[in-house]
Copies of this chain bind each other. A is one copy, B any other.
Amino acid sequence: MKETPFSLRQLADLVGADIQGDPNLMISALNGIDLAGPGEITYILDPKQCIQAQASAASACIVPPGCIVSGKTCLVAEETAVAVAKIHTFLLARPFQAAGIHSSAVIGKNCHIPEQVSIGPQVSIGNNVHLGERVQLKAGVVLEDGVSIGDDSVLHAHAVVGALCSIGKRVIVHAGAVIGSDGFGFATDSQGQHYKKPQVGTVRIDDDVEIGANSCVDRAAFGVTWIKQGVKIDNLVMVGHNVVIGEGSILVAQVGIAGSTTLGHHVVLGAKAGVAGHLHLGDGVMAAATSGIHDNQPNGAIVGGTPAIPAKTWVKSAGVFSRLPEMFKELRRLRKDVAALQTALQDQSTKQHRK
């Protein structure tokens, strides 16, 4: 088992940081700037916070380059936020302790379950399920028939994975998330009766994905709904059937993506943004919170509003929006003034001709 504390030197080496002060200082934990105490390391991300860092009770501070925190041992890291995340994760890491299979868990036939797993109370696993090494299934998780879960993945309480869906390695699925519910597809006849289109595809979730609490990823009508490597999805997000989400994309809370839309890599959709179906958003597209995207977007587009337009335009237009009533009145006044001018000019012209 790993031993805490660690020396500042060890932490610096982990992230390639420089040390200002004593490299032998021992650190047991990382904490927020107001909460950290002696023996702990804290961090600032902005040189403006130097004074706050100085006032912290922490023994050391991770800082961005160009920071001078007098009287405090500092660890200077280029990509400061990344360094903080890595060091924090390192300090918290504990060797996997397999809890085994809880006696109340129900496990189907023909499953592959390694010894090194933790399967909690009330878990329900169907037939032909394949679990990787060190998988953790918290209380009440449901895996239907034919599901596979990669090494080191964690499914939190009551997460549900539907039949035949596959989940990669180091994936985190938060509580109540539903992977592989039916896509929303109906054919409607001339009488207005809806016929369900069977949803016979699956969901494929690649490595290092995180899926938020009570989020939903629907299975494909045919083929797969595909969440690629490193995608991070927040809570209460809706991913429709046959959607493809490119590597490293980020979907903030309450986002919704309609069926068959594909996202390139590193797309960022702000909270509550919605994307219509059958679209493509190029690599690196960014959408402001609450955007409603109705059209394809080229690589790197930055959009906002509903229907979404370039974000800069949206910000400017939104800024004018509150002046609409004033503009409306001004238009009326202008019309009146122009009409008066037209009459006056006509009068003058008449007079001139008479002369």
Q: Kindly list chain B residues whose C-beta atoms are within 8 Å of the C-beta of A297.
A: none
A245 nearest CB across to chain B (Å): 13
How many chain A residues touch the partner (CB < 8 A)? 116
Is B160 within 8 A of A175, CB to CB? yes
Give a binary string over A95-139; 1 marks a CB under 8 Å from any B CB, 0 the rest. 000000010101000000000000011101000000000000011
Contact present for B221 and A81 (CB under 8 Å): no
Question: Is A318 an interface position by the 8 A CB rule?
Answer: yes
- Complex contact B142–A142 (CB within 8 A): no
Residue in B214, B322, B323 whose CB lies within 8 Å of A178: B214
Given B79, B198, B327, which contacts A88 in the complex, CB threshold below 8 Å? B198
The proximity string for A residues 255-290 relative to B, scoring 1 for CB distances below 8 Å and 0 otherwise, is: 010100000011000011010100000000000011
| Residue contact B258 to A274, C-beta cutoff 8 Å | no
Give Cα A337 to B142, complex, Å: 71
Q: Is there contact, CB below 8 Å, between B271 and A253?
A: no
* Closest B residue, CB atoms, query A156: B181
Interface centre among A188, A323, A325 (most CB of B within 10 A): A188
What B residues does A323 contact at CB under 8 A? 317, 328
What residues on B are CB-neighbors of A174 within 8 Å?
A: 178, 181-182
Chain B interface: which of A5-13, A49-57, A67-75, A342-350? A342-350
Using Cβ atoms and an 8 Å threshold, which residues of chain B touch A272? Answer: 256, 272, 274, 292
Distance, CA A276 to CA B271, complexed state (A): 8
Do residues A290 and B274 form an inter-chain contact, with CB atoms below 8 A? yes
Instruction: Give the chain B neighbours of A144 by CB distance below 8 A.
Output: 138-139, 157
Nearest-CB residue, chain B, relative to A170: B196
* 6 A/B residue pairs, CB under 8 Å, sorted by A: A158-B158, A162-B175, A194-B230, A313-B325, A320-B324, A334-B334
Instruction: List chain A positions with a Cβ less than 8 A from chain B.
Output: 31-32, 34-35, 79, 81-82, 84-86, 88-89, 92, 102, 104, 106, 120-122, 124, 138-140, 142, 144, 156-158, 160, 162, 172, 174-176, 178, 181-182, 184, 186-190, 192-198, 200, 210, 212-216, 218, 221-223, 230, 232, 234-236, 238, 240, 248, 250, 252-254, 256, 258, 265-266, 271-272, 274, 276, 289-290, 292, 305-307, 309, 313-314, 316-325, 327-328, 330-331, 334-335, 337-338, 341-342, 344-345, 348-349, 351-352
Besides the known contacts A106-B122, A193-B230, 12 further A-B residue pairs in the complex with CB atoms under 8 A apart: A85-B197, A88-B197, A104-B106, A120-B124, A138-B144, A160-B176, A196-B210, A236-B256, A309-B321, A320-B328, A338-B341, A345-B345
